[in-house]
A = this chain, B = another copy of it.
């Protein structure tokens, strides 16, 4: 908890209780749409508002502490891991899970480096695997 506060200060963010809670909520669920975060946060601090959660998620992602993406549905998702990773999007239950595959990441980056699109400075890659889970997952 104090570690989290410190992390915020190091990144120029004031260490408020709300931010700590939002951050911990995201750590717990991994990645989630804003309303899932709100849900989780509300169980700890029911007085927090949706607008605040939006603002906090935005500032944390601006500071690079979490990452931000849009789903196939166009809803905002945030993810605890700011490191380069990808997402599996399941079209049968609209869930999203992380897909960490550094090997694939570097294959893609290497490939792109070879081809180098002229005048384009690559900052990030976002890969979504879309499909169906044919058996129950966890």
Question: A131 and B124 in contact (CB under 8 A), knowing A70-B74, A101-B115?
Answer: yes
Is A137 touching B108 in the complex (CB atoms < 8 A)? no
Which of B75, B118, B120, B126 contacts A74, CB < 8 Å? B75
Number of interface residues of A (CB under 8 A): 41
* A130 CB-CB contact with B under 8 Å: yes
Distance between Cα atoms of A111 and B86 in the complex (Å): 14
Which of B88, B112, B133, B134 contacts A129, CB < 8 Å? B112
Distance between Cα atoms of A135 and B73 in the complex (Å): 32
Which of B111, B117, B123, B134 contacts A119, CB < 8 Å? B134
Question: A128 and B130 in contact (CB under 8 A), knowing A72-B70, A99-B117?
Answer: no
Interface residues in chain A, defined as those with a beta carbon under 8 Å from any beta carbon in chain B: 69-76, 88, 90-91, 99, 101, 103-104, 107-108, 111-112, 115, 117-137
